[in-house]
Structure 1
């Protein structure tokens, strides 16, 4: 049933896991949205139960505010977050669970970003919003930052 509600991208990033992890956790706002959109991480408590508050801004002044919690954070392995809850485990209208995985492969990092939706309709809506192009563009930006960090 999960695969029926799942969208995912994966790629081999030419940078070690430590650099990709640093790019994800330390410079999240710089890569999280495909340009020309921007993301401001107002709160990013990278621990299980920690709060996530993001404001995504579009080139025409659009704003999309997202709030959720981190369900699991295993350094250099996995980050799992959801919008099904806000801080203090208050239920919210769930859209998805996001899973970002990092694994060493061939001297680089196998990065996988997955969105698991509660319903087929939510998955279809996310796909129609441009999931594949948008999340791949964000992953391109993540890779560029990770490669820069790896060369420092």
Structure 2
């Protein structure tokens, strides 16, 4: 599948069932969501359409990157979609991405696909230059490590 022009995406096979990957993905974000040595602090994750998604990513040198957004869709075992275009209560804020994490059964495991869609070519290129592929691929690998260890 060819990505949309303003879309960046990573995919990988995870050797664990979809239900295990979903559970780890939604219940253990603190264990995989940031490429190490970064870590994430979950402020609130309200797993429903319109629910708040708030976290702070902490870097090894004291960096703090707050992220505030909402879930647009949460379909258990299938996908979750989030955006930073809104804060809780549908308060508009400066948008950067719509993120989509999709899961599908494949070859006895799970096909994980994480996609970032952008409003502008400039935002898409900025995200690419920030290390999108390496960062999001590392997150997928960290999720796979957890899910595979928990499916044995």
Aligned length: 150
RMSD between aligned residues = 0.8
Give the structure 2 partner of residue 96 of structure 1: 97
CA distance in structure 2 between the aligned counterparts of 1:104 and 1:139, rounded to whole angstroms: 16
Q: Any stretches of 5+ residues in structure 2 without a counterpart?
A: none
**Partner SS for 1:36:** coil
Residue 121 (str. 1) matches residue 108 (str. 2): no
Alignment TM-score, normalising by the size of structure 1: 0.97
1:61-82 C-alpha deviation (Å, 9 max, x unpaired) = 0000000000000000010000
C-alpha deviation, 1:41, in angstroms:
1.1
Report what 1:78 is aligned to: 79
1:13 maps to 14
Once residues 91 and 47 of structure 2 are traced to their aligned partners in structure 1, the CA distance between those partners, rounded to angstroms, is: 18
Q: Could you list the runs of 5+ residues in structure 1 that have no partner in the other structure?
A: none
CA–CA separation in structure 1 for the residues paired with 2:41 and 2:31:
8
**Greater than 3 Å deviation, 4+ residue runs:** none
Report the Cα distance in structure 1 between the residues aligned to 2:89 and 2:147, rounded to whole angstroms: 32
TM-score after normalising by structure 2:
0.97
- For 1:112, the equivalent position in structure 2 comes to 113
Distance in 2 between the 1:133 and 1:102 partners?
20
